[in-house]
Amino acid sequence: MPKIGDVIAAKYRLDKVAGEGGMGIVYAAEHLVLKQRVAVKVLLPDAVASDAVVERFAREARAAAKINSEHVARVLDAGSTANGSPFLVMEYLEGCDLEELLELQKTLPVRDVVDYVVQALEGLAHAHAASVVHRDLKPANLFLGCRPDGSNAIKVLDFGISKTTRSKPEDKRLTGHHVLGSPVYMSPEQLRNATDIDARADIWSIGIVAYELLSGAPPFDGDGVGEIFAAILEKEPLPLAEKDPAIPRALSDVIARCIRRDPKERWDDAGQLARALAPFGSDTTAQLADRAEQVLARAEQMRVMKTPLETRRVVDAIEAAASRAGTTGAGSGPALLLVRPKGGAATVADGVSTRIASFARRSPRRALGAAFGLLLALGVCLFGAVHATRSSAAAEAAPSPPRPTAERPDEATPPPAEGVVDEDSRTGERALDSDPPVVMELPSTPQGEKAPPRARNTKASGKPQRPKFLNSRE
């Protein structure tokens, strides 16, 4: 093991022993370059011989490193000593854990307990959003540190047996044959199978912690591990309000819901529990509850957008819109429909839906693009309906066009035939399409002859006109 005064990784000088556990020793150290106080956790030689312990040690580093919260102890670095012992470098904390505080005070005030638990829940919300379940929450792993301004802050420690909900096969080999965790704080499902749990196991554990901090003893206890397990699986805990009348009944009910054996009957997530506890804490607990809920809501939105089932639903909705468009259009291809069937409405939105459906069939995995496409189609549908209503009203209010006369046949404006879109009224819709519109024959003139084609840059008289930019240059 390293000695006091040794330098690890050529930059961390060990100054003193700050703590010791079953697997490692924690040193107070200094970063020689940054002159920063840090904590260095080094595995004991006996623990290094176990591949499982080394893997858990590495898991703690990975789990804590990807959780960005004020209430989770930050991991700054990781590596191995000269003799091969793994080490972690974490932020240095001054203060004590809640187990030490409970031994000194026996019980803690209601407001302080709620503040500590809600801060821990905010840290857990970040962990659960990253699909990490702690699995070993207890007073010893909740550290009461001091901020630079003198206020206190809870830090969640020791993700050594944390579990990701996106487990790999090797994770099951690592934990499947052992009961992991501290027995007094373990949920019933964790006793049965430590790998088949979710965030509600942490809700159970934090409820046990709150119960113990308020009453001075956990709700399930015994002389040995067997009695503790039997109590967790069979015994009904005494409500806090009956154990101590000074504890509000509403708070007692909130904590009692945390430790129900059926996970479905507990609080759904850390944010919901923090919101229920906030009225019993200080003024800052409501803000922490807001942050916890927001973190979990954003994580849920990202998971929904990446879920293949949701992708399939979006594609199905787009294909349904495309099917409706196919019944109103003249063609079956993805081109934007410009022809209005007899007695029907404009089909621009249907054409957009057809294009989006074609794109979704070619790239069904691009869920985000398909979702935006569906929103675009709905927006175009709404725009088309408003545009059609305004066009209809304008058409009713406009005066009737003059009838053609024999003296001035070139001013005659033949009405559009049925099924043909008027050029001027459809200019905006045609601009939405990058493909050329369907070319249709114009109706015959009143004299029974087809209108002669009009050359570009000519007026109604048929005389060619000089381009305007030449006139301006001359």
Asked if pLDDT for residue 398 goes beyond 60, the answer is no
CA dihedral 301, 302, 306, 309 (to 10 degrees): -20
Residue 56 lies in a domain: yes
In this predicted model, which residue has the larger pLDDT, 473 or 84? 84
My answer on whether 80 and 173 are in the same domain is no
My answer on whether 25 and 145 are in the same domain is no
Domain, as residue range, for 347: 308-390
Q: Is 316 an active-site residue?
A: no
Residue 460 lies in a domain: no
My answer on whether 43 and 167 are in the same domain is no
Quick one: pLDDT at residue 53?
Answer: 78
Domain final residue pick, 305, 332, 349: 305
DSSP 44-101: -HHHHT-HHHHHHHHHHHHHHHT---TTBPPEEEEEE-TTS-EEEEEE---EEEHHHH
In this structure, of 38-42, 125-129, 307-311, 323-327, the range with the lowest mean pLDDT score is 307-311
My answer on whether 294 and 322 are in the same domain is no
pLDDT band at 375 (very low <50, low <70, confident <90, very high): low
Residue 125 lies in a domain: yes
Q: pLDDT over 90 for what percent of the chain?
A: 41
Point out the catalytic residue in the list 97, 115, 136, 269. 136
Domain final residue pick, 67, 91, 115: 91
Instruction: Work out how many domains the chain is built from and give that number.
Output: 3
pLDDT band at 46 (very low <50, low <70, confident <90, very high): confident
First to last CA, the chain: 94
Task: Identify the three-state secondary structure at position 134.
Answer: coil
Nearest to 116 by CA among 285, 243, 272: 285
Q: What span, in angstroms and rounded, lies between the C-alpha atoms of 440 and 450?
A: 13
Quick one: pLDDT at residue 69?
Answer: 92
pTM (global) more than 0.75:
no
Give me the mean pLDDT over the 341-345 stretch: 46
Q: Among all chains, which residue has been given the structure tokens 């040995």?
A: 224
Asked if pLDDT for residue 183 goes beyond 70, the answer is yes
My answer on whether 167 and 276 are in the same domain is yes
pLDDT band at 56 (very low <50, low <70, confident <90, very high): confident
Quick one: pLDDT at residue 104?
Answer: 95
User: Highest mean pLDDT: which of 85-89, 177-181, 203-207, 367-371?
Assistant: 203-207
My answer on whether 150 and 230 are in the same domain is yes
Asked if pLDDT for residue 410 goes beyond 70, the answer is no
* Mean pLDDT, the chain, whole residue set: 75
Asked if pLDDT for residue 399 goes beyond 70, the answer is no
137-151 pLDDT, tens digit per residue, is: 999 999 999 988 888
